[in-house]
Amino acid sequence: MTLLTDQLTVATVPAYLVARPHLAGPVDPASIVSVEEVGDGNLNLVFIVKDAAGSGVVVKQSLPHVRVDPSWPLTRERAAREAVVLGVHERIDPVHVPAFHGFDAENLALSIEDLSDHAVWRGELNAGRLHTYAAAQLGEYVGAVGFATSAFGTPGPERRRAIAAATNPELSEITEDLVFTEPYVDHEHNGWLAANDDDVRELRADRAFVREIGLAKQRFQESTQSLLHGDLHTGSVFVRAEGESVRAFDSEFGTYGPTGFDLGAVWANLVIAAARAHVLGRSADAATLLALPVELVDAFETEFRRRWPDRVDPRVYGDEVLEHTLAVVRSDAAIYGAAKAVRRIVGFSKVADIQTLPEPERAVAARFVLRAARTLGTARLDDADPRALTAQTVALLG
Ligand code: SR1
Ligand code: MG
């Protein structure tokens, strides 16, 4: 058998799968008719492979650097980290992640369900197709994995081993830097329109907000509350209107951390999508999108409460512990939403929702996102109910 240690290419993928039929999923490696490289994220190679019968599989391989910046080296072991997270999440909630066909540790490649009949939620939102059902389903997903991988869902020794197995130092450091620090300091990764200079200055001068970001970073670094997806923005979510199918993919940033982090990622990207809709004159869509975090957090709580009777140690994990936990996650969701929103406007890795807007509208949308972020970050200290916070962000639309 030929062992490949190089990067896969469209030309080498068929032989790769012939030599490893266990990674081909439903595809017949002997009758592969097409291989397409479709990676459009920041990091990896992604191949969609089809056979003569029309079956498909996705092969995803990590590069030794950031795809969009080859001068930035990055561990290829991130593929192994994604394999851990996807494997755990698939066992807990197979409805909301792609099926995982296998992992090749030698070549750092994952074999995953082909979801070509779905579309990336961000692209759909940018085209004005909202798929509003996705918010509640993502809440259900975070509720399922958030409970099952928490101290309530997994016995102590098993959980400590799982935390060790899912440690993700290099990619967690990227999150720590890009989400929590760089937007608040001078850094070559940052950039914004001159028309937003005052907005960024005001944000950085908001001491209460920056304090909350610092505390949120500290919790991200110290907490092992549950096994996060780690990068749950709308570009990491497939949607399909038929059957209202929702799948969270691309969990290579996954690690144990505060459960509210994943909810916040969705929340931030809904605010960003709302900003786009608003400046394009789709005000009803903007209001709808800003209200979806309520459905997200409600569905999270419903799933968490549904699983609560099965908790590991009801002797001390009484209902007051549940209510306290949910209140903390609600508050965390808002501050992590704020942090994730700001990084997409000020820092590295901007988003098409904003970047594809013409310049005057882009500045207005960016201003709205930064103001909404400040509201989420500090208003939650008085009332972290997503309904109250939604009312405050909707009021910013004017
Ligand atoms: C260098 S990686 C930049 C960003 O891409 C991913 O989607 C994560 O959000 C990360 O922060
Ligand atoms: Mg990604």
pLDDT digits (tens, 9 = 90+) for 28-67: 999 999 999 998 888 899 999 999 999 999 999 999 999 8
CA dihedral 164, 170, 176, 178 (to 10 degrees): -150
With a 6 Å cutoff on the Cβ, whether 178 touches ligand 1 is: yes
Overall average pLDDT of the 282-307 stretch: 98
Burial class (CB in 10 A: 0-12, 13-18, 19+), 383: middle
Query: Domain with 46 in it: what CATH number?
Result: 3.30.200.20
Nearest CA owner, ligand 1 atom 4: 349
Nearest CA owner, ligand 1 atom 2: 42
Range of the domain at 52: 13-113
Instruction: Provide the number of structural domains found in the chain.
Output: 2
pLDDT score at 2: 40
Token pair of 71 as six digits: 């001068």
pLDDT score at 236: 98
Burial class (CB in 10 A: 0-12, 13-18, 19+), 318: exposed
With a 6 Å cutoff on the Cβ, whether 67 touches ligand 1 is: no
pLDDT bracket for residue 1 (50, 70, 90): very low
Nearest CA owner, ligand 1 atom 9: 231
Token pair of 181 as six digits: 């620090």
| Closest atom of ligand 1 relative to the 42 alpha carbon | 5
My answer on whether 109 and 130 are in the same domain is no
With a 6 Å cutoff on the Cβ, whether 349 touches ligand 1 is: yes
Residue 284 has pLDDT above 60, yes or no: yes
pLDDT bracket for residue 263 (50, 70, 90): very high
Q: Domain boundary residue among 113, 147, 176?
A: 113
pLDDT-above-70 percentage for the chain = 99
My answer on whether 52 and 171 are in the same domain is no
pLDDT bracket for residue 5 (50, 70, 90): low
Say if residues 325 and 163 touch (Cβ distance below 8 Å).
Answer: no
**Which ipTM did the prediction report?**
0.98
Angle at CA of residue 215, ends 396 and 318, nearest 5°: 95
346-358: pLDDT as tens digits: 999 999 999 999 9
The residue to mutate among 43, 122, 171, 181, having the most atoms of ligand 1 within 8 angstroms of its beta carbon, is 43
Q: What is the mean pLDDT of the chain?
A: 97
pLDDT bracket for residue 108 (50, 70, 90): very high
Residue 6 has pLDDT above 80, yes or no: no
137-154: pLDDT as tens digits: 999 999 999 999 999 999
My answer on whether 370 and 258 are in the same domain is yes
My answer on whether 125 and 81 are in the same domain is no
My answer on whether 109 and 142 are in the same domain is no
Residue 282 has pLDDT above 50, yes or no: yes
333-342: pLDDT as tens digits: 999 999 999 9
> Ligand 1 center to residue 252 CA distance, Å?
10
Q: pTM to 2 decimals?
A: 0.97
Query: Domain with 236 in it: what CATH number?
Result: 3.90.1200.10
Say if residues 47 and 10 touch (Cβ distance below 8 Å).
Answer: yes
Domain-located, residue 1 = no
My answer on whether 90 and 132 are in the same domain is no
pLDDT score at 26: 98
171-180: pLDDT as tens digits: 999 999 999 9
- Name the closest ligand to CA 175: 1
My answer on whether 108 and 222 are in the same domain is no
My answer on whether 95 and 159 are in the same domain is no
d(CA 261, CA 215): 13
My answer on whether 228 and 97 are in the same domain is no
My answer on whether 263 and 371 are in the same domain is yes
d(CA 63, CA 77): 10
